Amino acid sequence: MSGHGDPIPMMSQRGPALSGEAHVPGDKSISHRSLILGALSVGETVIEGLLEGQDVLDTAKAMRAFGAEVTDHGGGRWSVHGVGVGGFAEPEGVIDCGNSGTGVRLIMGAMATTPITVTFTGDASLCSRPMGRVTDPLALFGAKAEGREGGRLPMTITGARDPMPVRYTVPVPSAQVKSAVLLAGLNAPGKTVVIEKEATRDHTERMLTGFGADLVVEETDEGRVITLTGQPELKPQHIVVPRDPSSAAFPVCAALIAEGSDVLVPNIGLNPTRAGLFETLREMGADLTYENPREEGGEPVADLRARFSPNMKGIEVPPARAASMIDEYPVLSVVAAFAEGPTVMRGVKELRVKESDRIDAMAQGLRAAGVEVEEGEDWWIVHGRGHGQVPGGATVESRLDHRIAMSFLVMGLATNAPMRVDDGGPIATSFPVFEPLMTGLGAAVARA
Ligand SMILES: O=C(O)C1=C[C@@H](OP(=O)(O)O)[C@@H](O)[C@H](O)C1
Ligand SMILES: C=C(OP(=O)(O)O)C(=O)O
């Protein structure tokens, strides 16, 4: 199990209105995929705007261990000299994916149809997360996995020598599982078919097509049917990574709840499989607009403008929207505390197997801050108190979960008493510039 540095206690409190522009980093999902597909193509892929968060840096290190040449040219510009589909070498050491579910699950898929043996590990959070959801379908290709009780890391996988293509219906709404199967299918001869009943983020499909793979998506009564023809030669690409909507969520939500704020968050990727939070906030009555909508690198992009919104109302979030905002429920629950009335979130069982059990982590912290929360296995309700009515004054455990830490630091910008988190260290996994970005807008966020 990999280590974690000394805890970094942090706090936030009410202060001046937030204003200015928030330039959030590159998209985490797209950054992982750029490195992995770059490593599986033949020749040099250039990536601009790569997220240099720890999760992605761990994936970069892993790609080097598999034999790709990965170079950091500075200023967010990286290059990857790939080894081609089926060309992964057996790493000498253990692959440590740190805190990253996306990293470990996608890399397991990418190596599962190459006859090499690889041991994976991660931090205490990642070692508690389920890997069976990925190793079960990888076994259908012929890969063998041995790990701890309950399919946990550390885990050793031996890739299939003569992989068979598979047809697999993903049993949980998970882009990581879908992507692992597709990446494994790359080195299986013939057609691998993945079916998802609920659409999840589609960056893997878009990017595989961009790299020259033959991939067809059909919407059918069964769901979304994705057919990939194996053993293509992937062609290196020039990728410009859009800015991460999941990171944009934090300055946007901060501006909505902090009195007098007006913040512009430029160049945010608004792929419909990712933009559910912004739609939800608008339904709650948030003053949130999309300025200058355009398309960049095949992804819809706009500048988000968020202004203080004291009259938001709680709503029932449509469960069908869950996958498109799955990482944003923690910060939505914070906004919900400042809205009038209940916000009901259903069909969100997946929140219980993220970096932490996010329903439990948020419910405990919100209650400690004076907000009533009800919860069940796959639902929760936050009873909003309205603007100016949320006590705060709590210290919350971030549980090795960046989104929990950032959500409570956003909350403290509008509670009556400051909020504290015991460890802001995990924020560096996805949003290393969170603290300077927020203080640059005028937010009173600091190390405590
Ligand atoms: O594929 C991806 O890049 C991701 C998929 C989601 O996880 P699940 O596939 O477990 O839903 C999400 O929570 C994660 O932050 C990134
Ligand atoms: C769930 C997340 O990431 P991962 O699964 O990659 O650890 C997240 O970033 O919120």
Task: Give the Å distance between the CA of 129 and the centre of ligand 2.
Answer: 11
Do 335 and 200 share a structural domain? no
Q: What pLDDT score was predicted for residue 4?
A: 64
Q: Is residue 234 part of a domain?
A: no
Tell me the pLDDT tens digit for each residue of 45-79. Answer: 999 999 999 999 999 999 999 999 999 999 999 99
Do 285 and 142 share a structural domain? no
Q: Is residue 299 part of a domain?
A: yes
Whether 285 has a pLDDT exceeding 80, the answer reads yes
Q: What pLDDT score was predicted for residue 298?
A: 74
Q: What pLDDT score was predicted for residue 402?
A: 98
Ligand that comes closest to the CA of residue 172: 1
Whether 429 has a pLDDT exceeding 90, the answer reads yes
Residues 252-256 have a mean pLDDT of 99
Do 183 and 141 share a structural domain? yes
Whose Cα sits closest to atom 1 in ligand 2?
354
Q: Are 222 and 168 contacting, i.e. CB atoms less than 8 angstroms apart?
A: no
Q: Write out the DSSP string of 268-315.
A: EE--TTT-HHHHHHHHTT-EEEEEEEEEETTEEEEEEEEE--TT-B--
Q: Is residue 72 part of a domain?
A: yes
Do 188 and 310 share a structural domain? no
Here the tokens at position 275 are: 């933009």
My answer on whether omega of the bond before 154 falls inside 30° of 0, hence cis, is yes
Q: What pLDDT score was predicted for residue 212?
A: 98
* CA gap 294, 391 in Å, rounded: 41
Do 224 and 323 share a structural domain? no
Task: Give the Å distance between the CA of 135 and the centre of ligand 2.
Answer: 18
Task: Give the Å distance between the CA of 175 and the centre of ligand 1.
Answer: 6
Q: What pLDDT score was predicted for residue 161?
A: 98
**What percent of the chain has pLDDT above 70?**
99
- Half-sphere exposure of 22 toward its Cβ, with a 13 Å CA cutoff? 34
Do 405 and 256 share a structural domain? yes
* CA gap 68, 63 in Å, rounded: 6
User: Given pLDDT bands bounded at 50, 70 and 90, which one contains residue 5?
Assistant: confident
Q: What pLDDT score was predicted for residue 1?
A: 42
Here the tokens at position 319 are: 């469960």
* CA gap 363, 394 in Å, rounded: 13
Tell if the pTM clears 0.90, that is, is over it: yes
Whether 198 has a pLDDT exceeding 90, the answer reads yes
Whether 269 has a pLDDT exceeding 60, the answer reads yes
Q: Give the chain's domain count.
A: 2
Do 40 and 19 share a structural domain? no
Q: What pLDDT score was predicted for residue 2?
A: 46
Q: Is residue 214 part of a domain?
A: yes
Q: Which atom of ligand 2 is nearest to the CA of 28?
A: 9
Among 156-160, 285-289, 293-297, 346-350, the least confident range: 293-297
Q: Is 129 flagged in the annotation as binding? A: yes
Provide the CATH number for the domain around residue 218. Answer: 3.65.10.10
Q: Which structural domain, as residue segments, surrounds residue 17?
A: 10-26+242-447
Q: Is residue 288 part of a domain?
A: yes
Catalytic machinery residues: 327
- Which of 202, 228, 254 is at the close of a domain? 228
Mutational test site, ligand 1, from 105, 176, 198, max ligand atoms within 8 Å of CB: 176
Order of strands across the sheet that contains 223-229: 167-170, 191-196, 223-229, 215-220
Q: Is residue 310 part of a domain?
A: yes
Tell me the pLDDT tens digit for each residue of 126-140. Answer: 999 999 999 999 999
- From residue 181, alpha-carbon distances to 69, 135, 191 in Å are 24, 9, 12
Q: What pLDDT score was predicted for residue 297?
A: 74
Complex ipTM above 0.90?
A: yes
Do 424 and 314 share a structural domain? yes
Q: Is 274 flagged in the annotation as binding? A: no
User: Given pLDDT bands bounded at 50, 70 and 90, which one contains residue 299?
Assistant: confident
Do 186 and 263 share a structural domain? no
Do 278 and 389 share a structural domain? yes
